[in-house]
Amino acid sequence: MGDITELLHAAQSGDGRSLDAVFERVYTTLRSLAASRLSAHAGEHTLSATALVHEAYLKLVDARRLDLADRHHFFACAARAMRQILVDRSRARGAVKRGAGQAAEPLAHAEGIAADAPELLDIDAALDRVDAIDAGARELIEMRVFAGLTLEQLAETSGRSLRSVNRDWQRARALLLAQLP
């Protein structure tokens, strides 16, 4: 069992400092992933990578019933928290569907989404539809798109082969694109 998994089990047993220790160990990774996601669309957002990671952490700590099993599950929950934060911020600014006259940017790469991207709300709604079809695909999309994990990182955190994760990513990406308006 890995160090992070052991700390997560300790956190479930009531050790409040264990989740803090997990966060300390993965903070650099989460922050660099968030920074790369947000820097891909510099100038389009007002949220810093540090703020995004910290808000995600606060969401995770505040979720008292959260039952984190291992490193993979931690990153999946962190990705979902980042998605929720970005979508909430977009909704709060009154984002209008399809950019309110802005030039549409195709979702050709589907690996990075700006915090203020016009299509963010469309992607969020599409992810809800994907979840109804395949929750595993939704989780993979969140980890790839919102947390910015590479296919190699996804394979490592899930303990699966890169080829298997790549195949699942292609399927999940196609499912997401089919659900977009």
pLDDT band, very low/low/confident/very high, at 22 (cuts 50, 70, 90): confident
- Give the mean pLDDT of 44-69: 77
The yes-or-no verdict on residue 65 having pLDDT over 70 is: no
The yes-or-no verdict on residue 149 having pLDDT over 70 is: yes
Give me the half-sphere count of Cα atoms (radius 13 Å) on the Cβ side of residue 145: 30
pLDDT on residue 18: 83
CA dist 173 and 15 (Å) reads: 38
Residue pair 38/113 in contact by the 8 Å Cβ criterion: no
Q: Which residues contact 85 (CB under 8 A, 6 or more apart)?
A: 47, 52, 55, 56, 59
Which of 10-14, 33-37, 61-65, 173-177 comes out lowest in average pLDDT? Answer: 61-65
Residue 86 CB neighbours (<10 A): 28
pLDDT band, very low/low/confident/very high, at 117 (cuts 50, 70, 90): low
Burial (CB < 10 A; 0-12, 13-18, 19+), residue 131, is middle
pLDDT on residue 63: 66
- Give the mean pLDDT of 93-116: 50
What's the pTM value of the predicted model, to 2 decimals?
0.63
